[in-house]
């Protein structure tokens, strides 16, 4: 189950890459920028900004799950204050059976489903088309998500298929997995992009839904097995940018034998529209991205522990 394949990606490892986004994730980070990826089940998105209010989906839905929400005080009522005009399309997600009929009837593209089953061959067909770009740029394929380790059999087959084609592979992971899964895949992975969110276990659980000891332990094991690991820290104001967390993160990372580097990525809130499209609350509404100064300060601090820092 994947929810996207993105070509010409330049932020998910070296060179030009194809990123395959797996569906399903055991974490539920408050700032998740792919909230449609958390569930294994395909997710219905309705983007109100693209909706033409034509009502075609309402008529098409066999479950009667969609309705137009009328609004009398809308600027579209300029001609008459009493004219009822639709203000929004609302979907009763309890009634929705995910039949996808409404997607076919919506010509504006306001309704979409995220998540589909694919075979290894189908993914590889797309991946292989880009081989000239990988060769030109020392790029390759990145498996991301969601959490790719949550589908170990599928991931493992894709990694083997890439190996056969001599395609560089990266796995972007939260690290929250049984070590057996790493054991199954690690020899066919050229680079791990490994998230480090928070050092305090209780706080980690609070904001991601899972504890962190297994994440830290797996990271240490990977490095000790001499795998290439690029650690990625999302810097999120009010969540993990405090001095205590930076100190503990720096101490832990500096204690590891060897890292490719530490990528510091500034939080952004562009995923907020996706939460609206999924009819979910965005818990970090109002949180602003870190300033350039705050990013530089955190980078300088981490550098003081002899860590190689890459700023995003
Ligand atoms: S996916 Fe099917 S059941 Fe769900 S809202 Fe669309 S038409 Fe209705
Ligand atoms: S979601 Fe699509 S089909 Fe439904 S009212 Fe909006 S534009 Fe029309």
The pLDDT of residue 84: 52
Q: How far is CA 198 from CA 53, 219, 222, in A?
A: 43, 14, 19
User: Atom 5 of ligand 1 has which residue's CA nearest to it?
Assistant: 96
**Ligand 2 atom closest to Cα of 111?**
1
Instruction: Report the CATH fold assignment for 2-41+115-311.
Output: TIM Barrel (3.20.20)
CB of 110 closer than 6 angstroms to any ligand 2 atom: yes
User: Atom 7 of ligand 1 has which residue's CA nearest to it?
Assistant: 61
Strands (E), the chain: 2-9, 17-22, 43-46, 66-71, 85-91, 111-114, 140-144, 168-173, 191-195, 229-235, 261-266, 309-311
User: Atom 2 of ligand 2 has which residue's CA nearest to it?
Assistant: 106
pLDDT in tens, 107-160: 999 999 999 999 999 999 999 999 999 999 999 999 999 999 999 999 999 999
The pLDDT of residue 312: 78
Averaged pLDDT, 195-207: 98
CB of 105 closer than 6 angstroms to any ligand 1 atom: no
Computed over every residue of the chain, the mean pLDDT equals 93
The pLDDT of residue 86: 62
Which of 196, 190, 197 has the alpha carbon at shortest distance from 228? 190
Averaged pLDDT, 217-230: 98
CB of 52 closer than 6 angstroms to any ligand 2 atom: yes
Instruction: Report the C-alpha gap between 271 and 34 in whole angstroms.
Output: 7
> Where are the chain's structural domains?
2-41+115-311, 43-113
Q: How many whole angstroms from 28 Cα to the centroid of ligand 2?
A: 30
69 or 60: which leads in pLDDT: 60
Q: How many whole angstroms from 24 Cα to the centroid of ligand 1?
A: 21
Q: How many whole angstroms from 60 Cα to the centroid of ligand 2?
A: 10
pLDDT in tens, 12-43: 999 999 999 999 999 999 999 999 999 989 99
The pLDDT of residue 251: 97
What backbone phi and psi angles, to 5 degrees, belong to 5?
-130, 120
Residue 81 has pLDDT above 50, yes or no: no
Instruction: Report the C-alpha gap between 309 and 230 in whole angstroms.
Output: 10
Ligand 2 binding pocket mutation candidate from 108, 113, 276, 277 (most atoms within 8 A of CB): 108
CB of 108 closer than 6 angstroms to any ligand 2 atom: yes
Instruction: Report the CATH fold assignment for 43-113.
Output: Alpha-Beta Plaits (3.30.70)
Residue 78 has pLDDT above 50, yes or no: no
Residue 302 has pLDDT above 80, yes or no: yes
pLDDT in tens, 244-279: 999 999 999 999 999 999 999 999 988 899 999 999
Percent of the chain whose predicted confidence (pLDDT) is above 70: 95
Beta bridge partners of 89: 68
Classify 74 in phi/psi space as left (phi over 0), alpha (psi -120 to 50) or beta. beta
Determine contact, residues 141/175, Cβ cutoff 8 Å. no
DSSP state of 26: S
Least reliable range by pLDDT among 49-53, 183-187, 298-302: 49-53
Q: How many whole angstroms from 45 Cα to the centroid of ligand 1?
A: 11
Determine contact, residues 11/26, Cβ cutoff 8 Å. no
**Ligand 1 atom closest to Cα of 57?**
7
**Ligand 1 atom closest to Cα of 98?**
1
Q: How many whole angstroms from 307 Cα to the centroid of ligand 1?
A: 50
């Amino acid at each position: 189950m994947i929810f996207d394949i993105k070509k010409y990606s330049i932020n998910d490892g070296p060179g030009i890459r194809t990123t395959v986004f797996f569906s399903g994730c055991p974490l539920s980070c408050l700032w998740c920028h792919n909230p449609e990826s958390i569930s294994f089940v395909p997710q219905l998105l309705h983007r109100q900004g693209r909706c033409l209010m034509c009502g075609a989906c309402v008529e098409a839905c066999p479950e009667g799950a969609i309705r137009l929400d009328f609004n009398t005080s809308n600027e579209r009522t300029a001609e008459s204050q009493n004219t009822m005009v639709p203000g929004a399309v609302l979907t009763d997600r309890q009634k929705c059976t995910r039949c996808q009929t409404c997607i076919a009837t919506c010509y504006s593209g306001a309704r979409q489903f995220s998540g589909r089953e694919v075979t290894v061959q189908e993914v590889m067909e797309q991946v292989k088309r880009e081989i000239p770009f990988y060769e030109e740029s020392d790029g390759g394929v990145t498996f991301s998500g969601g959490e790719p380790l949550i589908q170990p059999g599928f991931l493992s087959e894709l990694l083997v298929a890439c190996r056969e084609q001599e395609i560089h592979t990266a796995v972007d992971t939260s690290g929250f997995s049984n070590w057996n899964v790493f054991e199954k895949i690690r020899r066919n992975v050229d680079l791990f992009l490994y998230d480090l969110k928070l050092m305090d276990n209780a706080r980690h659980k609070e904001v991601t839904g899972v504890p962190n000891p297994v994440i830290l332990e797996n990271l240490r094991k990977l490095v000790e097995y001499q795998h290439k690991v690029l650690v990625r820290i999302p810097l999120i104001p009010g969540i993990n940018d405090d001095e205590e967390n930076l100190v503990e993160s720096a101490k832990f990372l500096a204690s590891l034998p060897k890292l490719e580097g530490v990528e510091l990525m500034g939080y952004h809130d562009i995923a907020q529209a996706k939460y609206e499209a999924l009819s979910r609350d965005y818990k970090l509404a109002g949180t602003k991205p870190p300033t350039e100064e705050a990013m530089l300060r955190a980078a300088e601090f981490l550098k003081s522990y002899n860590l190689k820092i890459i700023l995003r």
